[in-house]
Amino acid sequence: MRTRALFGFLVCGCAPQFPLPMTAAQLVQYNSGPALVAYLAQSDASPTVCDLRALSPHVPRMTADMRAALVDGMVEGKINPVLWRRCADVLLERLPRDEIPPLFDELGRAYRKILANSDLEKNPSLAGRLATLHRLYLDRPAGLDSNPSARASWFEDLRAALAKGQLGPVAAPFAQELVATVDVENGRWQGRTVDAAMMDALAASGNEMTLTRFVERLPSPELREQAQRRIVRVHIALSPFQEVRDGSAAVEDTVIREGHNRIALKEHPLLSATLDPSKTVARDVLVRQRVWAQNATLLGYAASRSTLSVLPEVSFRGALWAKLQKISRPVSVCEHWKNLDPSPCIAADDVSLDNPVAYRDSGGDFHFKDEVGVSEVVALAKNDKFVLPVRIGGRPAVSLNWGLSYERPDDLAFNETSSGRVGPRLKIRVQRPTATHFVFSVSAPQGTYAVVVDEANIHDFHIVSRGAPGSSGATGSSGSPGAAGSECSDGERGGDGGAGEDGGRGGDGGEVFVDVACGGALCPDTVDLLQQIILSVGGLGGAGGSGGAGGPGGPGGSSRSPSTHTNSYGESVTDDQGCSAGANGSAGSNGASGSPGRPGRPGKVAFKFVPAEGT
């Protein structure tokens, strides 16, 4: 797969094109910078492909090629900045320490390029991309940075440009904020040393902006924790939960220690739950089966867009709301610790999804396997919808129901290949777990195959046992060449070709035994339908052999020249008149072609009703 994309790159000398949609597993196979950009440019792409320790498929390492492509992909507007930022955040969390400076060097290169672009002063998109790089740098975890030498010279240039007024009204605030943030890294803000009194004053005015800078950039962990505490106090003062404001000191300690204010569900059992539709992702799922490989790709689509894409991730933060016993207001799933939210919340690992292809990542969001095996394909068909039942603390809470459809699979055609032999014997079990899905399990000599077919596609799908074609008849013998004529006489006619052999009879279709478990559907209707699509077909008759070619005629005999002599009177006397050459003999007739063989006969197809599973 990688070779194919690379070949395209070499031939056209341009960016390689990839077949889309591209799943995370396919990205791992391509394993290149352009592939990473192509993946992330898709709707609903997941940033977990950037997580080097993710459970789901992800890039194995961040090569220089990927680093450059990732940064350029955002700067050139190919990757949505919000998604890009999430990818970059997880990289900063997971990359080995020695790979962080080269990443920031790359970011710095892109940053400087945009800052020097005069279009920045009039292009809101470009300013947005610069802001994305800018925030990533300012919000980065403490201790991570670019190479010191490169950084020093860059900041020197930046300060000089600011001092000389060389930056426009859009560029200048970015530069000013960068320079100011360096002061915070040295423990100073607006010319003063940062201390508890300054932080208290900021908290008293609700200034989370500055306190957040302190949390991210102050030089010591102790100072950063002090800033965190002030932010938590601001949040507690604004909290709608009376119990949070009443227990402010304990809540503050909990949030600082654990990053959130998790509720113990044993003490506060679930009463009811709802989903906020405005914050809940909704998609439809398309299953693309590869019947012979017995696996499938799950893809997503939505009414609002025309193209298929990968399945989205699902976050329940702010979307799932639960009423819990003895908690004054509905609560949602705990926010990321960076938000320092004191609201009572449900821990991400208290929420589960009962779906065979869903799994939770380390951050608490849910993902779907996009490459699945046949057992999962069949399991999904038990429902009309792609059902996502949500449990909170093990108790059923709410359910998400997405549309589910199966792309029409290839026909399951089992063809005997040895001439004239009977088609494979098939044993088929048909289930109809819902009105919209047919599940076929086919036992054939070469193995067992399962496939799911939507009712909408059932008339176009076939399962076939086909006899082998008959053997082809042998070609008739060639006629012998005619004998050559003697001097002055004609050649003889060539011999006639022999008749071609008749083709062999096609093999009969194999026997097919079909067990039908109708489930809720009407059995006679189902069988009528199945009789049209489950077939036993005889093989075609073999082609008749061609007749042998007639032999070529014999060549005519050679001519003889007249002979003369001169007598005693000096006269020329003809001794022999000579003769002309003989004609070539005519070719023999071609032999007659053999007759085509008779086709094989259809085999028996027997239907039997059986109880549905579980009845």
Partner 1 sequence: MVVLAFVRQAGYCSNARTPPEADVRVLALGVLLASMGCAMPYAYSFHSENRDARSSAKPTQREVLDDADVRAEILVDPTGARAILLDLTNKTDQVLQVEWAQITMTGSDGSSTSPRPHVDLGWILPGATMSARLVPFALPPSGDRAAGYQGSRFELVVPMIVRREPKSYRYSFVVDVRPI
Point out which residues bind partner 1 (CB under 8 A). Answer: 118, 120-125, 127-128, 131, 135, 165, 168-170, 173-174, 202, 205-210, 212-213, 234, 237-240
Cross-strand partners of 221: none
CB 504 within 8 A of CB 597: yes
Buried b (16+ CB within 10 A) or exposed e, 491-519: bbbbbbbbbbbbbbbbbbbbbbebbbbbb
* Residues belonging to the chain: 615
In the complex with partner 1, the residue whose CB is nearer, 96 or 124, is 124
CB 64 within 8 A of CB 102: yes
CB of 74 to partner 1, least distance (A): 14
Q: Which two tokens stand for residue 279?
A: 């914050």
CB of 193 to partner 1, least distance (A): 17
Q: Compute φ and ψ for 184, nearest 5 degrees.
A: -60, -35
CB 125 within 8 A of CB 77: yes
CB 499 within 8 A of CB 591: yes
**CA nearest to 103, candidates 142, 71, 78:** 71
CB 259 within 8 A of CB 251: no
In the complex with partner 1, the residue whose CB is nearer, 73 or 538, is 73
CB of 48 to partner 1, least distance (A): 23
Cα–Cα distance for residue pair 372/393, rounded to 1 Å:
27
CB of 246 to partner 1, least distance (A): 14
CB of 252 to partner 1, least distance (A): 18
CB of 335 to partner 1, least distance (A): 12
Cα–Cα distance for residue pair 203/196, rounded to 1 Å:
10
In the complex with partner 1, the residue whose CB is nearer, 143 or 240, is 240
**The dihedral sign for the CA sequence 347, 350, 352, 358:** positive
In the complex with partner 1, the residue whose CB is nearer, 342 or 482, is 342
CB of 84 to partner 1, least distance (A): 13
In the complex with partner 1, the residue whose CB is nearer, 131 or 387, is 131
In the complex with partner 1, the residue whose CB is nearer, 141 or 168, is 168
In the complex with partner 1, the residue whose CB is nearer, 336 or 385, is 336
In the complex with partner 1, the residue whose CB is nearer, 206 or 394, is 206
CB of 333 to partner 1, least distance (A): 15
CB of 118 to partner 1, least distance (A): 7
Burial of 391 (0-12, 13-18, 19+ CB in 10 A): middle
CB of 123 to partner 1, least distance (A): 7
Mind spelling out the 3-state secondary structure of 273-296? EEECHHHCCCCEEEEEEECCCCEE
CB of 210 to partner 1, least distance (A): 4
Cα–Cα distance for residue pair 409/405, rounded to 1 Å:
12
Burial of 414 (0-12, 13-18, 19+ CB in 10 A): buried
CB 126 within 8 A of CB 117: yes
In the complex with partner 1, the residue whose CB is nearer, 318 or 578, is 318
CB of 209 to partner 1, least distance (A): 4
In the complex with partner 1, the residue whose CB is nearer, 280 or 405, is 280
In the complex with partner 1, the residue whose CB is nearer, 68 or 126, is 126
Q: Compute φ and ψ for 19, nearest 5 degrees.
A: -65, 135
CB 501 within 8 A of CB 473: yes
In the complex with partner 1, the residue whose CB is nearer, 212 or 295, is 212
Q: Compute φ and ψ for 542, nearest 5 degrees.
A: -70, 150
Buried b (16+ CB within 10 A) or exposed e, 259-290: bbbbbebeebebeebebeeeeebebebbbbbe
